[in-house]
């Protein structure tokens, strides 16, 4: 991961100082707490630093981000399959991958207050007390634990710092059972852990996080072409799900900042309220990982090409992104404030496939005549859409509440519904326009409106 200070060394300082969105990180944190997106972990005990819990709305947002990625990456393709590996792996995996030796950051400690920082994220003096720093030393970011009843060196295992290695060590298992031929990919979504020295910026950099990674195995010599393909695919994925193109950039790594396994790496960055931050890295990992695991384990991880009648170790191109920081990017990009004074509203313009809830069913009031019909409408819709039922407070406040969590459409049941026309009103989040639709035509009408909103978000 490339830090802001590191980027300054590589000529991106001007980009990092571009005009930012008016949304502040504090505003997003406040909204997240107020509307149930994200809470501080263990809050009643004072919290645990840089560890976060997703609430009823946030868990839907993050799940939708993961589902959208999985749909595009696996279910809509015939050259990528999925897997779900365990978090704990044999310690030799991390020896072979180079993590035990190379997965480090330079750490400095203040001689006065004893606070510790990454060397590339501070100046010459401690930002807390202006004290002098010690000489930098390397700090391994892997979190370790012990397997079994005895805490000794022989029982040491590690919480995985990435999901990628499980896909490399399972290459033969997956290729054989799926009967896939090169080129093909293995995708995985799962938790990873890094003992970051200076986590921060809300859910952007944390010690426990969720990754969405895919390893694409290809013939040597075709890897540069596939690297470009996956760079374009990844950038298009963010844009097609509502992220504004002007808030994204592709930054190729310089030679001296490449990871030990990479021939070429490129970051997709988003302009967050605090500046540019990495969303996804697309790396050409060459044949480093398969060869390293083959050498350490003694297992042949080469591939026999039936058409060319030759055997080779595949090269790998890896698109790897964080589910948490992607969810934060979607939240930041969707945030908007419209109007002034009492007419002001906060609205999240999520893509319909990313929005935590697609539909909210709102009876005009809790009147005994309205509630049964509203519940019937709710039951009709929820098998087809992620739908929320909301009948507390005034209808105006409920509209504003749904705007604040980004619900694209609200369906209102009123007295005309039960006494006259059996119709309901659909309110559009973005335009606030309302249309009257018979209940029997409601599902089709909603699908049509959501499709129009999808096109607008991709515009």
Instruction: Count the neighbouring beta carbons within 10 Å of the beta carbon of residue 153.
Output: 7
Nearest of 395, 379, 388 to residue 439 by alpha carbon:
379
- Both structure tokens of 285: 């990992």
| Structure tokens given for 62 | 């993050």
Neighbours of 408 (CB within 10 A): 27
pLDDT for the residue 9: 25
Q: For residue 283, what are the contacts with CB-CB under 8 A and spacing of at least 6?
A: 259, 261, 262, 264, 265, 266, 317, 318, 320
Which residues, at least 6 apart from 211, have a Cβ–Cβ distance to it below 8 Å?
162, 163, 188, 189, 190, 191, 192, 320, 321, 322, 323
Q: Give the torsion through C-alpha atoms of 369, 371, 377, 380, to 10 deg.
A: -120
CA 17 to centroid of chain Cα atoms: 24
Other CB atoms within 10 A of residue 222 CB: 15
Q: How far apart, in whole angstroms, are the C-alpha atoms of residue 290 and residue 209?
A: 25
How far out from the chain centre does Cα 116 lie?
A: 28
Q: Nearest to residue 361, comparing CAs of 339, 344, 376?
A: 376
The CATH classification number of 342-458 equals: 3.40.50.800
pLDDT at 267: 97
User: In this predicted structure, what is the pLDDT of residue 141?
Assistant: 82
pLDDT digits (tens, 9 = 90+) for 344-383: 899 999 999 999 999 999 999 998 889 999 999 999 999 9
Q: How far is CA 377 from CA 357, 395, 403, 436, in A?
A: 16, 17, 20, 14
Are 240 and 458 in contact, with CB atoms under 8 Å apart? yes
Query: CA-to-CA distance for 25 and 237, rounded, in angstroms?
Result: 24
**Tokens 């980004």 belong to residue:** 406
- Provide the sign of the torsion angle of the four alpha carbons 130, 133, 139, 145, taken in this order: negative
If you count them, how many residues does the chain have?
Answer: 459
Q: What confidence score (pLDDT) does residue 420 get?
A: 78
The segments of the chain whose pLDDT lies below 70 read: 1-22, 459
For residues 144 and 315, what is the distance between their CA atoms, to the nearest angstrom? 30
Whole-angstrom distance, CA of residue 206 vs CA of residue 197: 10
Q: Cα(415)–Cα(270) distance, rounded to whole angstroms?
A: 47
Please check whether the two domains, 4-90+160-331 and 342-458, share a CATH topology. Answer: no
- Backbone dihedral angles phi then psi of residue 129, each to the nearest 5 degrees: -135, 5
Q: Where are the domains of the chain?
A: 4-90+160-331, 342-458
Contact assessment for residue 197 and residue 92, using Cβ atoms and an 8 Å cutoff: no
| Fold category of 4-90+160-331 in CATH | BirA Bifunctional Protein; domain 2 (3.30.930)
Q: What is the pLDDT of residue 448?
A: 97
How do residues 231-248 score in pLDDT, each as one tens digit?
Answer: 999 999 999 999 999 999
The residues, ordered by sequence, that sit 6+ positions from 48 with a Cβ below 8 Å of its Cβ are: 40, 41, 42
Q: What pLDDT score does 396 carry?
A: 93
């Amino acid at each position: 991961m490339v830090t802001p200070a590191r980027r300054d060394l590589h000529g991106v300082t001007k980009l990092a100082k571009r005009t930012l969105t008016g949304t502040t990180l504090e505003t997003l944190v406040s909204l997240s707490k107020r509307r149930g997106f994200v809470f501080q972990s263990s809050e009643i005990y004072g919290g645990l630093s840089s560890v976060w819990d997703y609430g009823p709305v946030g868990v839907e947002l993050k799940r939708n981000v993961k589902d959208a990625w999985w749909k595009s990456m696996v279910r809509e393709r015939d050259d990528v399959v999925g897997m779900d590996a365990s978090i704990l792996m044999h310690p030799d995996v991390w020896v072979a991958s180079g993590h035990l030796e190379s997965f480090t950051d330079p750490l400095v400690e203040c001689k006065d207050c004893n606070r510790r920082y990454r060397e590339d994220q501070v100046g010459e003096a401690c930002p807390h007390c202006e004290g002098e720093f010690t000489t930098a030393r390397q700090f391994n970011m892997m979190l370790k634990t012990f397997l079994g009843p005895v805490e000794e060196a022989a029982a040491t295992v590690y919480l995985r710092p990435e999901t990628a290695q499980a896909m490399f060590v399972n290459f033969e298992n997956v290729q054989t059972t799926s009967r896939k031929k090169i080129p093909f990919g293995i995708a995985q979504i799962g938790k990873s852990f890094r003992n970051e020295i200076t986590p921060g910026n809300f859910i952007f950099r944390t010690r426990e996080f969720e990754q969405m990674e895919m390893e694409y195995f290809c013939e040597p010599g075709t890897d540069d072409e596939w690297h470009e393909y996956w760079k374009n695919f990844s950038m298009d994925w963010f844009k097609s799900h509502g992220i504004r193109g002007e808030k994204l950039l592709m930054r190729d790594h310089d030679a001296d900042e490449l990871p030990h396994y990479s021939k070429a790496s490129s970051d997709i960055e988003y302009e967050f309220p605090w500046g540019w931050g990495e969303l996804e890295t697309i790396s050409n990992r060459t044949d480093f990982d398969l060869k390293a695991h083959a050498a350490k384990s003694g297992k042949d991880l080469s591939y026999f090409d039936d058409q060319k009648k030759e055997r080779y170790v595949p090269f790998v191109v890896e698109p790897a992104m964080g589910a948490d920081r992607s969810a934060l990017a979607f939240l930041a990009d969707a945030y908007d404030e419209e109007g002034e004074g009492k007419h002001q509203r906060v609205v999240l313009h999520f893509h319909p496939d990313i929005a935590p809830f697609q539909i909210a069913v709102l009876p005009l009031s809790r009147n005994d005549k309205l509630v049964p019909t509203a519940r019937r409408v709710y039951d009709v819709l929820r098998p087809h859409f992620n739908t929320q039922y909301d009948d507390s407070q005034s209808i105006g406040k409920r509209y504003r509440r749904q705007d604040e969590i980004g619900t694209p459409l609200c369906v209102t049941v009123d007295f005309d519904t039960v006494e006259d026309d059996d119709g309901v009103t659909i309110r559009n989040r973005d335009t606030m326009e309302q249309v009257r639709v018979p209940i029997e035509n409601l599902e089709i009408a909603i699908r049509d409106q959501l499709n129009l909103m999808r096109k607008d978000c991709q515009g």
